[in-house]
């Protein structure tokens, strides 16, 4: 027969009391996402490039089997198709590990975003889009999955885990000029999320299809742009309202130019878009 001291009995009774009345645990405060109330993707902002940069970029594009010349934007890099009846845009990429750009500060938060979408180039009234943000501050890296019907702000897919190296498939589908849906599938984890839109007052034109790396806006200014390494969209295609599906052949190639040219983008074959930070 076992004997217990008074202290031991008290400890046991205390443990039972805890079990009978479990403490409600408060979750840790999540990381404060850069995707705040004013986070927003924006239509393409075109900029002029010097002749030297234009020639160099066009040469790089041709070397990578790109089918188009290069234009410059202060916020978009990637490929844009301009046409009509664009209904569903898809693209798959591997999430990169962002880093602080050369000469950057470890105390500054830097970001970049990879997304697919409909409109926002020649049609600036609305954009249906979804993608992944890459964030870095010092040695801390994080990611956000999001959706947006511009000109409304972007919203986070809460609880959807994304890590560097994950293979992500993005889909943006217009059901009409005022309704549609977006889906992000993490093919590495097997998880996916979807959001539907309806009755949107700002209408799509369904004339642009995009595969983009963006220096997006937060408030009234663009975020400090992260070194995203390389983003390669594979399986890049758009299905039209007549049921036909086309690739990126003939797409306009965009590179980001701010104080200098920050990206080098191209297409390869009919279904691949490659963007590199330079």
Task: Note the helical H segments in 49-195.
Answer: 51-63
Burial (CB < 10 A; 0-12, 13-18, 19+), residue 116, is buried
Query: Does 214 participate in catalysis according to the annotation?
Result: yes
Helix, strand, or coil (residue 12) = helix
Catalytic residue among 87, 148, 206, 214: 214
Helix, strand, or coil (residue 55) = helix
Asked if 71 contacts 46 with a C-beta cutoff of 8 angstroms, the reply is yes
95: Cβ contacts below 8 Å, ≥ 6 apart: 132, 134, 143, 162, 163, 164, 165, 166, 167, 168
Q: Which residues pair with 184 in a beta bridge?
A: 170, 193
- Active site residues per annotation: 214
């Amino acid at each position: 027969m076992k004997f217990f001291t008074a202290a031991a009995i008290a400890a046991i009774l205390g443990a039972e009391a805890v079990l009978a009345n479990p403490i409600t645990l408060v979750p840790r405060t999540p990381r404060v996402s850069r995707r705040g109330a004013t986070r927003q993707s924006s239509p393409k902002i075109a900029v002029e490039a010097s002749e030297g940069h234009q020639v160099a970029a066009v040469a790089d594009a041709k070397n990578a089997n790109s089918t188009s010349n290069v234009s410059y934007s202060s916020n978009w890099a990637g490929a844009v198709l301009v046409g009509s009846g664009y209904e569903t845009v898809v693209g798959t990429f591997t999430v990169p590990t962002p880093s602080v750009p050369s000469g950057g500060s470890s105390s500054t938060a830097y970001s970049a975003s990879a997304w697919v979408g409909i409109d926002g180039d020649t049609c600036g009234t609305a954009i249906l889009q979804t993608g992944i943000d890459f964030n870095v501050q010092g040695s801390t890296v994080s990611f956000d999955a999001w959706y947006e019907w511009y000109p409304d702000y972007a919203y986070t897919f809460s609880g959807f885990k994304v890590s560097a190296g994950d293979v992500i498939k993005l889909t943006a589908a217009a059901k009409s000029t005022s309704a549609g849906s977006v889906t992000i599938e993490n093919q590495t984890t097997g998880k996916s999320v979807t959001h539907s839109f309806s009755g949107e007052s700002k209408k799509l034109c369904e004339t642009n299809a995009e595969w983009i790396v963006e220096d997006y806006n937060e408030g009234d200014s663009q975020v400090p742009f992260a070194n995203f390494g390389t983003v390669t969209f594979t399986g890049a295609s758009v299905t039209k309202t007549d049921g036909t599906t086309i690739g990126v052949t003939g797409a306009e190639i965009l590179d980001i130019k701010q104080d200098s040219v920050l990206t080098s983008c191209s297409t390869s074959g009919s279904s691949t878009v490659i963007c590199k930070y330079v």
